[in-house]
Structure 1
């Protein structure tokens, strides 16, 4: 299972360091918009999008073994982001440093 070597985070973004790959930086807003929880997926499947404030922040990262659970400043903490899902977000709000 591919998992990051380390994760740096501040309120605005996460930076994931993968073995042998460029660092992946994803904004808190992009992560919240792509939350994989059932409620957010249902919205996206219906063609809607979650209502997310532009100034959304990541408050906490909780280990979930195969991924991470993020706690956002809008009190949303339902989604578990599997590492493969996070790595695939490279086409969505990704920058390498």
Structure 2
């Protein structure tokens, strides 16, 4: 991505400048944190789309509202088994994983 003008950086340029290039420790830690954040944001969006409150989603999978909140707000990492429950039991969806090499 190119910068729009001399004063504006793309997200990748900003990350390069402040966190280093892809493959450096600081940048990898940032990217890993972003992936966790993305999962929480996706759960939040799907829950809203289904018209569920955090409390309703929590009840469907047998956990607490505060746990759902912590996942959505990237305070707590979600285990794969819990993610599967949230997606399948709570949201009526299907979880698909892929590994890219």
TM-score (norm 2): 0.30
| Greater fraction of residues in strand | 1
- Structure with higher Rg: it is 2
TM-score (norm 1): 0.30
